[in-house]
């Protein structure tokens, strides 16, 4: 759909057919746990076999099969219909059979503001739009801070989609659940949509920092409970996306971003423990938070994996994270628009370049690696170029020398 999509996104009756919490004994046994082994720090980089690979936004607009679904259904209808969300999640697993080591549930970070009572529309050619964003601290007090949120009711469609997808995967790969970082959601809720400057959100935080912190705390608490529900539904790894982490000063990052990223794993672990459930590995991806102090901090707040954008090298990141966490990333998504020669060249640099992940591993620098892009795959990518990248990564990752080999 290219025009403004419908405002009313009803939850289909089929959601009630899915048991919650899910019965874990009924899920097919997992046959590929490479991602979980690396994310938990159990498996360091092994130069004799490829590390686990997946792609942020791997279920998305670059796939013609996804576009076919979207021609018939609005974006949030896909999110809210377990059968459609499952189908879209499985599409890249089918297309790239044997090349991906994880799936990620098809949903959107903005379902959390929706659960908190805010209307979110998806406008064709524009993206997410909040018709009534937060206006001031008094507005936030009434609409957000004083509101009780039942994520298990409001987001039951996500949980149903996770449970259905676990069965649909047939144990081929693990399923990732996710949410956004509190600062990223705060930005959307104040700005009313995406922004290049995030000026309104930043002004709010600087002018009334205590109110901003209260809103961020509330978002964190709701998001943590949402993640707990995803685990109860069957998610096997959790990722937190703070894609606007690069818009504040270092002090602003320490004040409005880092503390609320740190709250999430603490709350999730505590809540799962109260339910006698183990906490799956957790990944934090704070785009742009790549200073030495920021990387060091992110590696010490309760996550097992730190995602990297494309602006840093493996060697640089390892200097500040040590072997405390696995690293995830970090090929520039735009490389996929450059053709096969560019993909081959940049994959080689990512792996066996002077500061590449495998070069560091061969030198004895410890720490796991999950291969990914440095941000989400973009709509203009040819799916066959994505395939070539996956194949090339697997080929490079089992080489034990820097010498190139002729293509088969």
**Hey, which residues are catalytic here?**
57, 61, 70, 108, 188
Residue 282's nearest CA partner among 216, 316, 328 is 328
d(Cα 188, Cα 87) in Å, to the nearest integer?
Answer: 28
Q: 134-156 in b/e burial notation, b at 16+ Cβ within 10 A? A: beebeebeebbeeeebebbebbb
From residue 289, give the alpha-carbon distance in Å to each of 223, 310, 312, 332: 21, 11, 10, 16
Residue 29's nearest CA partner among 173, 226, 134, 159 is 173
User: What is the DSSP secondary structure assignment for residue 278, as one 8-state letter?
Assistant: P
Q: Which tokens sit at 60?
A: 């998305």
How deeply is 404 buried, as exposed, middle or buried, from its count of CB atoms within 10 A (0-12, 13-18, 19+)?
exposed
From residue 137, give the alpha-carbon distance in Å to each of 125, 186, 189: 31, 12, 12
Identify the residue whose tokens are 């048991």. 19
DSSP string, 121-166: EEETTTEEE-SS---SHHHHIIIIIT----HHHHTHHHHHHHHHHH
For the chain, the C-alpha Rg in angstroms (whole number) is 20
DSSP string, 360-371: HHHTT----EEE
Q: Which tokens sit at 98?
A: 């044997």
Identify the residue whose tokens are 């130069």. 47
């Amino acid at each position: 759909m290219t025009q403004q999509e419908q405002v009313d996104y009803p939850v289909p009756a089929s959601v009630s057919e899915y048991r919650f919490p899910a019965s874990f004994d009924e899920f097919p046994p997992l046959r590929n746990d490479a991602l979980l082994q690396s994310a938990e720090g159990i498996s360091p980089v092994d130069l004799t076999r490829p590390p686990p690979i997946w792609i942020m936004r791997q279920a998305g607009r670059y796939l013609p099969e996804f576009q076919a679904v979207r021609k018939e259904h609005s974006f949030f209808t896909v999110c809210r219909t377990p059968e459609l969300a499952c189908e879209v999640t499985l599409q890249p697993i089918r297309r790239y059979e044997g090349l991906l080591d994880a799936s990620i549930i098809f949903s959107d970070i903005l379902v959390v503001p929706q659960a908190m009572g805010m209307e979110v529309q998806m406008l064709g050619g524009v993206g997410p739009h909040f018709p009534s964003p937060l206006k001031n601290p008094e507005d936030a007090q009434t609409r957000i801070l004083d509101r009780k949120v039942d994520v298990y009711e409001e987001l039951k469609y996500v949980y149903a989609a996770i449970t259905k997808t676990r069965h649909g995967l047939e144990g081929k790969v693990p399923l990732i659940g996710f949410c956004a970082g509190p600062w990223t959601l705060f930005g959307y809720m104040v700005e009313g949509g995406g922004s290049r400057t995030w000026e309104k959100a930043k002004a709010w935080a600087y002018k009334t920092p205590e109110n901003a912190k209260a809103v961020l705390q509330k978002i964190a608490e709701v998001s943590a409970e949402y993640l707990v529900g995803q685990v109860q539904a069957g998610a096997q790894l959790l990722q937190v996306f703070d894609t606007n982490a690069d818009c504040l000063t270092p002090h602003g990052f320490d004040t409005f971003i880092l503390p609320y990223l740190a709250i999430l794993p603490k709350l999730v672990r505590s809540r799962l423990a109260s339910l006698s459930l183990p906490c799956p590995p957790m990944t934090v991806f704070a785009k742009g938070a790549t200073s030495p102090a920021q990387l060091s901090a992110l590696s010490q707040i309760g996550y097992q994996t730190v995602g990297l954008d494309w602006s840093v090298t493996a060697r640089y990141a390892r200097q500040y994270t040590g072997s405390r966490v696995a690293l995830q990333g970090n090929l520039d998504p735009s490389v996929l628009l450059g053709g096969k020669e560019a993909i081959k060249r940049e994959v080689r640099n990512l792996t066996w370049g002077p500061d590449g992940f495998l070069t560091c591993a061969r030198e004895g620098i410890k720490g796991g690696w999950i291969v990914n892009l440095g941000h989400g795959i973009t709509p203009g990518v040819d799916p066959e170029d994505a395939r070539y990248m996956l194949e090339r990564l697997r080929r490079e990752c089992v080489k034990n020398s820097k010498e190139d080999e002729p293509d088969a």
